[in-house]
Amino acid sequence: MGSDFFRKDWVKIRGVPIICACTPNWERIDNFQAREDDIVIATYPKSGTTWMSEIVDIILNDGDIEKSQRDAIFNKVPMLEFWVPGAVPPGSQVLDALPSPRVIKTHLPVSLFPKSLWEKKCKIIYVARNPKDVAVSFYHFDKMNQLHPEPGTWDNYIDKFIQGNMGFGPWGAHVKEFWALKQERNILYMFYEDMLEDPKREIKKVMKFLGKDFSNDVLEKICLQTSFKAMKENPKTNYSAISSSIMDQSVSPFMRKGICGDWKNHFTVSQSEKFDEYYQKEISKTDLSFRFLV
């Protein structure tokens, strides 16, 4: 039963900490068969995956909101590696049964990406978010999600984040490895903060990447339907269909705040300084940069 996996520690797959329930029979991930028209939404957790998933699904339905509301987001865009033996079927199996074009959600880092996704040159949309807001969002998610280990105190959590002892491994490696591959692979690299700043501009980039072009009216409809307020109220996107025994939204809602800069309400000055040092070490040798306020 699913509850056998409640509050279990991460289990390492080739050195990467993964949700315990998802780790049996890992060959199913290594052997996953991609299709050429698969669209992958790849992210470090809590970086805007659900938001991008809803945008992509509506775009693929040519802006038809009614069609796009056919099912909950986690059924329309299954998470490849997700599995709760005895309770939820493996994402890889669910995907095998979906018609093309499939939209696949994954938090897997480059090192665990199934080879077939590269070989088939699938379109990949990567969404990255500044690590302070990711840490805050992940902390609240770990508190409400029984399939994750208890997060402990916020102060210790910051240390765990800096050490990379987090679900799906270190944030820095995740964002940098996809960034480094974006020229040679079919990757559209997006930032959560840019999406907040100008959703229309950013949705246009996604449309172009997917070979679509809509009128301004359709574009505005997509913006409205995927606004934080609309997605928070929408039972198809707010995860309210998931049992509260797994995700206890009274502890923290899945659609929590949806802003940039909530970290300011959580980090003390010294925690922030320690984190800045970590960020500089991770990012300074790259041409990547993140915005901590929009």
Instruction: Determine, following the binding rule CB under 6 A, whether residue 50 of this chain makes contact with ligand PPS.
Output: yes
Q: What are phi and psi of 18, to 5 degrees?
A: -130, 150
Instruction: Determine, following the binding rule CB under 6 A, whether residue 68 of this chain makes contact with ligand PPS.
Output: no
| Beta strands per DSSP E along the chain | 11-13, 16-18, 39-43, 103-106, 123-128, 187-191
CB of residue 36 to ligand PPS, shortest distance in Å: 25
Instruction: Determine, following the binding rule CB under 6 A, whether residue 78 of this chain makes contact with ligand PPS.
Output: no
Q: Return the amino acid letter for 285.
A: K
Residue 25: enclosing H or E segment and its boundaries? none
CA 212 distance to own-chain centroid: 23
Distance between CA atoms of 63 and 40, rounded to whole angstroms?
Answer: 19
- Centre a 10 Å sphere on the Cβ of residue 206 and count the other Cβ atoms it contains: 19
Lookup: tokens for 241: 């269909």
Of 113-121, 158-166, 224-232, 265-273, the segment contacting ligand PPS by CB under 6 A is: 224-232
x/- map, 183-222, ligand PPS, by CB under 6 A? ----------------------------------------
CB of residue 254 to ligand PPS, shortest distance in Å: 7
CA 238 distance to own-chain centroid: 14
Lookup: tokens for 270: 């010294």
Of 56-64, 149-157, 250-258, 275-283, the segment contacting ligand PPS by CB under 6 A is: 250-258
Query: If binding means CB under 6 A, how many residues of this protein chain bind ligand PPS?
Result: 21
Three-state SS for 123? strand
Residue from 159, 220, 248, 262 binding ligand PPS (CB under 6 A): 262
Residue from 154, 179, 214, 228 binding ligand PPS (CB under 6 A): 228
Of 6-14, 40-48, 153-161, 200-208, the segment contacting ligand PPS by CB under 6 A is: 40-48
**Over the range 31-66, which residues count as b (16 or more CB within 10 Å of their CB) and which as e?**
ebebeeebbbbbbbbbbbbbbbbbbbbbbbeebeee
Instruction: Determine, following the binding rule CB under 6 A, whether residue 43 of this chain makes contact with ligand PPS.
Output: yes
CB of residue 138 to ligand PPS, shortest distance in Å: 8
Name which of residues 131 to 150 contact ligand PPS (CB under 6 A).
133, 137, 140-141
Instruction: Determine, following the binding rule CB under 6 A, whether residue 292 of this chain makes contact with ligand PPS.
Output: no
Note the residues at the interface with ligand PPS (CB under 6 A): 43, 45-51, 133, 137, 140-141, 226-228, 231, 255-258, 262
